[in-house]
Structure 1
Amino acid sequence: MKNIKLIIVLLLGVAFFVSCDSRPIQDIEGVVVNPTYSKNIKPIMDAKCVNCHSQSGEGIFPDLDTYQSVVNAQNGIVSSKLFCSISSSSCTSPRMPKNDAPLSNNTITTIKNWIDTNYPEN
């Protein structure tokens, strides 16, 4: 009986550790070819950007917590300066997200695909 309990505990422990994956969802799922704001981009913004770039965050411009603010041609993610700051270390602006790991290549490519497909909302 003790052996069965031990085996069950070990199997549950292995299942727990195998199911845990700390990689961002875009890393697990790969590149999204036809992303939309609500399904693919907003979760990235919420996880990596709005903590600082929102009215409720640290208030650092630009505000990135709505679709309209993200696609704003001058200051949103579509801006070449801002996109450069998340995708390249060779920009004159600081690399984003600040004080966090860089976005994965899959996430950056997904954002680029969204920009290239003219920023579909839904």
Structure 2
Amino acid sequence: MKKLMYIISSAILLVACESRTYEEISDKTPVVELVTYNKDVKPIIDANCIICHSPGNSASFQPWTSYNQVKNNIDKIIDRISRPIGDPQKMPQGGSLSPSQISTITKWKADGLIEN
């Protein structure tokens, strides 16, 4: 009887120890949040761009203080923040956004430039 229990227990353990990853057994698709202006992009713009791109400052001719202003200039913004260090047109001047911040802004464009 002990031998039969040992065989059954071993068989159960062998079946239970099947090697499969979480992704292989999960029916759930990971949720990828949409990037929005107010939640994700505005904080980056406010922390890195408003110092120049607001009325009364050095780039006041091109303010980025509102959703529409940033949306209407998104291609220029992406171009400038993506330039290599040392390029005189790289923004922000004298610095650089992190790769994560650049990805957030480019994903915002890809997601459809959602405001809220």
TM bin, normalised by shorter chain, reads 0.5 to 0.7
Q: Percent identity?
A: 36
| Count of aligned residue pairs for this structure pair | 85
**Distance in 1 between the 2:80 and 2:88 partners?**
6
Matched residue, 2:109 = 115
Amino acid corresponding to residue 40 of structure 2 in structure 1: N
Superposed CA deviations along residues 32-63 of structure 1, whole A, max 9, x for unmatched, are 85211011111001000011001143344321
Q: TM-score, normalised by structure 1?
A: 0.61
Unaligned regions of 5+ residues in structure 1, if any?
A: 1-31
CA-atom RMSD in angstroms: 2.3
Q: TM-score, normalised by structure 2?
A: 0.64
Matched residue, 1:27 = none
Describe the SS at the equivalent of 1:40. helix
Measure how far apart 1:94 and its partner are.
Answer: 0.6
1:103 aligns with 2:97: yes
**Distance in 1 between the 2:33 and 2:100 partners?**
10
1:87 aligns with 2:82: yes
**Distance in 1 between the 2:88 and 2:78 partners?**
10
Unaligned regions of 5+ residues in structure 2, if any?
A: 1-31
Matched residue, 1:40 = 40
Moved over 6 A (4+): none
Describe the SS at the equivalent of 1:89. coil
